[in-house]
């Protein structure tokens, strides 16, 4: 598709029906003459117009007998049919509603058409575009899918969200200027001008309305100019006015020659009147398919006339929406399905779906920058994901302030407890406690917040991956790079406070002082351990998928390894079957490195007169810091060895987290 055609479709045609601001209050108005279109398809003046056809769609849920609900693989299968030979079509330039009661099969049909992963189901059927059979997976190359839940990064504005989508999803042939122009056209088309610079926000925050958020979902998807647009319950959770505005936006898109298909639940009369075609589902079959306005005549011909003062959608939904255990109503549904199968509308639908469709399948070529690979390069993806992650972090000042207060308070308390403490026979145990405390602070202060932040963005990442926006690997690396800044700054602040108050005092001819070199090594160690903590948080979040499970899972791993740090037990006395655990305990390497920093500068310990008292029951086993380290089974020369081992752990754990994260996202 050329640049000219793309720009003309999104720009010069916006007069065909847009949602615009009518006053300063943000109230929206529709150009009613353009919204109110006939039910006939638009002429084939748009070369990208696509008629979507599906035929003989069969879906069944594979169910297995279980023993007390525990062993689902035991016993014979009992499959439940969800869709039974369903055929239908949707025309370009028309808005098609798929309706039906709960369990009728409308959501399953939409999921099949959009190629959404459905585990435990067996599916058969064929898809055709413009009367030509295609592979089911190829439909993604022409379509976009607006799901029921609107998921965005809350700290982004409307304009920033659309520019982010434009940079990563629009074909690479478009310049930055063209992307900006397209975004402005889409903002105007979807009636988002008044909130373009407003943060999207969360439900609990002051943000854009639900209707604006839904239209933002439409805007994000139509940037790639898809010929087919699927929508899942776009009016869910909206009041009648917002629902009307949202469906009016769909009507605008249909008026541009797009094929718009939407499931919808109990629409108002005004919303229903915007539909061109209706596909009514019941018991996994088609109960009606045709012009939306003619469904009343069909039900009247079935001896179910619409009562006075009853809206058309309320009437036919009431007839079909009855309990599955109601034998009489089950008979009514079958009667209506049989009546439709013998109607002229069903015969025409059969002609479109079976007679006109070519039997030879063809492979769809790559179009519009969707469906095959990613529109943006890996570097471009990573850069803009990094910018978004950094922007999200900066725009969360409360989180940063709370974390700064936490780090300051913990470090200040630790520093005051060990303030200007000189190493003597009586304070040696205090030094060991300080080393352990510093190690555990870095682990626990940063691990759990990291879990919550990472899990919070996971649904957005999955949604954007499904829309072919970027690679999970690009997101993971970019998010890690943006977050790593705080895992440098906060440990640095912690190190500065703690070392200023409680760093090792080295005796020299002028008295006692602290070494700047020792501080740098203390800071480096804390930064490394803090990033290791973040790595553990990432891994736990990727493995568990939800914050509550991850927070419960983490102590199962960390608590046993904490015991093997070397503070609570002499590691040399461990039974052989526990020998492996100190080698995989990050607490052990951090604790040993901290002890090395604290003790190696000490040449003489006051109150310790023995040069070497190995295996002594006394706390003071030597009058020299290096010898005390050796008595604990640690080497005074292993500071950098421990640091490098911790760095290697970061690489391994983050690599594992990346693999699990990628698999989780791709399987979602």
Instruction: Find the mean pLDDT for residues 57-61.
Output: 87
Higher pLDDT, 329 or 563: 563
State how far the Cα of 591 lies from the Cα of 646, in Å rounded to an integer: 11
Pairing between β-strand 132-134 and β-strand 358-362 as defined by DSSP bridges:
parallel
Q: pLDDT category, 410, cuts 50, 70, 90?
A: very high
State how far the Cα of 278 lies from the Cα of 264, in Å rounded to an integer: 10
Q: Check residue 165 and give its pLDDT.
A: 93
Mind giving me the DSSP string for 114-174?
TT---TTEEEEEEEEETTEEE-GGGGGGTEEEE-SS----TTSBHHHHHHHHHHHHS-TTS
Task: Burial-class residue 543 by CB neighbours within 10 Å (0-12, 13-18, 19+).
Answer: middle
Mind giving me the DSSP string for 599-653?
HTT-S--BT---S--TT-SSS---SSHHHHHHHTT--TT-HHHHHHHHHHHHHHH
Instruction: Find the mean pLDDT for residues 475-497.
Output: 93
Q: Check residue 310 and give its pLDDT.
A: 85
Give the residue among 38, 43, 49 at the shortest CA–CA distance from 5.
Answer: 49
Q: Please answer whether residues 134 and 128 qualify as being in contact, where contact means their C-beta atoms are separated by less than 8 angstroms.
A: yes
Q: pLDDT category, 97, cuts 50, 70, 90?
A: very high
Tens of pLDDT, residues 299-309: 888 888 888 88
Tens of pLDDT, residues 349-369: 989 888 877 665 554 443 333
State how far the Cα of 657 lies from the Cα of 653, in Å rounded to an integer: 6
Q: Check residue 501 and give its pLDDT.
A: 86
Whether residue 30 has pLDDT greater than 50: no
State how far the Cα of 656 lies from the Cα of 651, in Å rounded to an integer: 9
Higher pLDDT, 150 or 204: 150
- pTM value is 0.81
Q: Check residue 368 and give its pLDDT.
A: 37
Q: Check residue 325 and give its pLDDT.
A: 58
- Following CA atoms 543, 545, 547, 551 in sequence, which dihedral angle do they give, to the nearest 10 degrees? -20
Q: Reduced to 3 states, what is the DSSP secondary structure of residue 318? A: helix
Q: Check residue 137 and give its pLDDT.
A: 67
Q: Check residue 607 and give its pLDDT.
A: 64
Helix 312-320 crosses helix 327-341 at what angle (to 10 degrees)?
120
Compute CA distances 181 → 177, 185, 193, whole Å.
6, 6, 14
Q: pLDDT averaged over the chain?
A: 81
Tokens of 490: 């906060």
Domain boundaries, the chain: 3-362, 386-667
Tens of pLDDT, residues 609-625: 654 444 444 456 666 77
- Following CA atoms 172, 175, 178, 179 in sequence, which dihedral angle do they give, to the nearest 10 degrees? 60
- Residues 3-362: name the CATH superfamily: P-loop containing nucleotide triphosphate hydrolases (3.40.50.300)
Tens of pLDDT, residues 414-447: 888 888 777 676 777 887 888 888 888 888 888 9
Tokens of 519: 């501080």
Instruction: Find the mean pLDDT for residues 269-273.
Output: 92
Higher pLDDT, 446 or 373: 446
Mind giving me the DSSP string for 487-542?
HHHHHHHHHHHHHHHHSPPEEETTEEE--HHHHHHHHHHHHHHHHHHHHHHHHHHH
Q: Please answer whether residues 111 and 118 qualify as being in contact, where contact means their C-beta atoms are separated by less than 8 angstroms.
A: yes
Q: Please answer whether residues 541 and 547 qualify as being in contact, where contact means their C-beta atoms are separated by less than 8 angstroms.
A: yes
For the chain, give the number of residues. 668
Q: Percent of the chain at pLDDT above 90?
A: 34
Higher pLDDT, 454 or 648: 648
Beta-ladder partners of 262: 97, 231
Higher pLDDT, 237 or 182: 182
């Amino acid at each position: 598709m050329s640049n000219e055609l793309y720009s003309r479709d999104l720009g010069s045609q916006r007069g065909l029906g847009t949602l615009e601001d009518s006053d300063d209050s943000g109230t929206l108005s529709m150009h009613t003459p353009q919204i109110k279109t006939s039910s006939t398809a638009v002429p084939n003046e748009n070369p990208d117009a696509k008629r979507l056809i599906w035929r003989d769609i069969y879906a069944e849920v594979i169910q297995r007998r279980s023993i007390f609900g525990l062993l689902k693989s035991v016993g014979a299968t009992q499959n439940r049919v969800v869709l039974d030979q369903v055929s239908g079509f949707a025309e370009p330039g028309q808005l098609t509603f798929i309706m039906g009661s709960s369990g009728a099969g409308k959501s399953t049909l939409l999921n099949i058409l959009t190629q959404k992963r459905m585990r435990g189901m067996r599916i058969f059927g064929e898809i055709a575009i413009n009367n030509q059979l295609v592979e089911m997976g190829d439909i993604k190359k022409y379509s976009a899918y607006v799901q029921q839940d609107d998921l965005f990064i809350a700290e982004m504005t409307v304009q920033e969200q659309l520019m982010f989508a434009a940079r990563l999803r629009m074909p690479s042939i478009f310049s930055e200027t063209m992307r900006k122009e397209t975004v402005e056209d889409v903002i105007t088309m979807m009636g988002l001008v008044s909130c373009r610079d407003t943060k999207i926000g969360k439900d609990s925050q002051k943000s854009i309305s639900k209707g604006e958020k839904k239209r933002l979902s439409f805007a994000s998807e139509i940037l790639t100019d898809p010929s087919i647009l699927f929508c899942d319950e776009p009016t869910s959770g909206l009041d009648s006015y917002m629902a009307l505005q949202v469906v009016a936006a769909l009507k605008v898109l249909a008026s541009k020659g797009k094929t718009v298909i939407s499931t919808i639940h109990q629409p108002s009369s005004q919303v229903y009147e915007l539909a061109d075609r209706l596909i009514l589902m019941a018991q996994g079959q088609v109960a009606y398919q045709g012009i939306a306005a003619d469904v009343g005549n069909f039900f009247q011909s079935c001896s179910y006339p619409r009562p006075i003062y009853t809206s058309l959608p309320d009437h036919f939904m009431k007839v079909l929406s009855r309990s599955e255990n109601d034998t009489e109503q089950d008979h009514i549904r079958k009667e209506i399905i049989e009546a439709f199968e013998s109607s002229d509308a069903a015969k025409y639908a059969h002609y479109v779906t079976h007679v006109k469709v070519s039997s030879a399948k063809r492979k769809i070529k790559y179009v519009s920058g969707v469906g095959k690979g990613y529109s943006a390069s890996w570097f471009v993806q990573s850069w803009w994901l990094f910018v978004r992650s950094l922007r999200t972090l900066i725009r969360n000042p409360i989180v940063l302030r709370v974390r700064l207060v936490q780090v300051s308070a913990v470090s200040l308390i630790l520093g005051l407890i060990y303030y200007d403490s000189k190493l003597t026979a009586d304070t040696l145990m205090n030094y060991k406690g300080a080393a352990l405390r510093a190690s555990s602070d870095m682990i626990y202060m940063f691990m759990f917040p990291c879990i919550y932040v990472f899990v919070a963005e996971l649904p957005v990442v999955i949604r954007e991956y499904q829309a072919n926006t970027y690679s999970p690997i690009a997101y993971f690396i970019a998010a890690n790079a943006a977050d790593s800044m705080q895992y440098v700054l906060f440990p640095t602040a912690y190190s500065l406070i703690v070392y200023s108050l409680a760093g090792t005092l080295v005796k020299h001819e002028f008295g006692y002082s602290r070494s700047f070199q020792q501080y740098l090594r203390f800071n480096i160690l804390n930064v490394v351990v803090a990033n290791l903590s973040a790595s553990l948080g990432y891994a736990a979040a990727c493995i568990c998928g939800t914050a509550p499970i991850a927070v419960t899972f983490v102590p199962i791993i960390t608590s046993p390894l904490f015991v093997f740090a070397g503070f609570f037990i002499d590691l040399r006395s461990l039974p052989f079957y526990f020998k492996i655990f100190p080698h995989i305990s990050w607490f052990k390497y951090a604790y040993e490195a901290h002890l090395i920093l604290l003790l190696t500068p000490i040449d003489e310990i006051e109150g310790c007169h023995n040069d070497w008292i190995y295996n002594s029951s006394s706390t003071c086993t030597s009058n020299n810091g290096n010898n005390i380290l050796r008595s604990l089974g640690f080497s005074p020369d292993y500071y950098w060895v421990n640091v490098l081992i911790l760095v290697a752990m970061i690489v391994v754990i983050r690599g594992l987290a990346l693999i699990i994260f990628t698999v989780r996202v791709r399987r979602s």
